Amino acid sequence: MEPYRAPWWLPGPHLQTILAKPLACNQRVTYDRRDRWDTPDGDFIDVDWVGPEDAPRLLVLFHGLEGNSHSHYAREIAVHALADGWRFAVPHFRGCSGELNRRARAYHAGDSEEIAWILERFAAQHPAVHAIGVSLGGNALPKWLAERGAAAEGVVRRAAAVSAPIDLTRMGDRLSHGLNQYYGRFFLERGLRTKALRKIGLFPEEHAAAGVNAARVRATRTLPEFDDALTGPLHGFADRFDYWRRASTADLLTGIRVPTLLLNARNDPLLPERVLPTPAALPDSVQTDFPRQGGHAGFPGRRQWLARRTLEFLSEGAS
């Protein structure tokens, strides 16, 4: 398949990131079913499904920060997957399906335990599960693959990670400076901070026990500040630096045994190019595709190149 090249009128990583959504395909995806799955700790997640129930292959997509089944990349991948005869499912991370979850905890970029039980439940229902993670989901998925090693082959056939922030410390540094601070403000003002404050009001004792303070969360203006005030301590990390270090996937990739594609633009505004691994440092099971352009979870235009490229890899050897 041809390598990605951004349209000439979309120069630079920020335009290629920010305009990916408005330039996405305008085909609607009507999910035919939503299932609510109870989690092992008494919470729930919602799973949206589309495609023939008797399809020989199931594609599970793990979305990015505050994403959902209607995120632009989910819609584009769904459209192409349906055209190729896949069953397609999007499990929403806790609190991302339009309803607050039942527990104080939410989700984070290193939540491989959540990935584990979700994929194992899919595998119990379908014999040929394939998985793709985008952005935050693109770090959590390969983290699980690496931790599980050869045992993951009994759960998923092939996997892909798109624009994965595999070094969260480097990403956090990027998000603290210059124009990159825009991305954090976008998510915080879009509803991430408000949702967190509502959860603190619903579960004050649990948040207090974790050292989470509502006033500090309310004052956050960047994603690193938010990770320090809430994401880290709420999920058992000492602070944002401990969270970033323990949740990152970069040093774990050699443990992956499932055939996996790492797809990342070299101009991703959230991850320095020098962080991207060299093929020589990876096992044969991991294939890399690092186009010069594309932004973060972007790759706009070119007939939905992102969807076509990931499905091309996931379809290799599929039956």
Q: Which residues are within 8 A (CB) of 35 and not within 5 positions of it... i.e. 6 or more apart?
A: 46, 47, 49
Are 90 and 81 in contact, with CB atoms under 8 Å apart?
Answer: no
Q: Which two tokens stand for residue 287?
A: 């294939």
46, 111, 167, 268: the catalytic one is: 268
How many C-beta atoms lie closer than 10 Å to residue 42's C-beta? 8
Q: Which two tokens stand for residue 149?
A: 């090693």
| Location of structure tokens 């301590």 | 233
Q: Which two tokens stand for residue 109?
A: 């970029």
267-283 burial, b for 16+ CB within 10 Å, e for fewer?
bbbbbeeebbbeeeebe
80, 92, 108, 296: the catalytic one is: 296
| CA distances from residue 198 to 141, 228, 297 in whole angstroms, order as listed | 28, 18, 28
296 counts as catalytic: yes
Q: Three-state SS for 289?
A: strand
71 counts as catalytic: no
How many Cα atoms occupy the beta-carbon half-sphere of 207 within 13 Å?
21
CA distance 293 to 267: 6
CA distance 313 to 249: 21
112, 135, 163, 285: the catalytic one is: 135
70 counts as catalytic: no
| CA distances from residue 315 to 57, 84, 173, 210 in whole angstroms, order as listed | 9, 9, 36, 44
End-to-end CA distance of the chain: 20
Active site residue ranges: 135, 268, 296
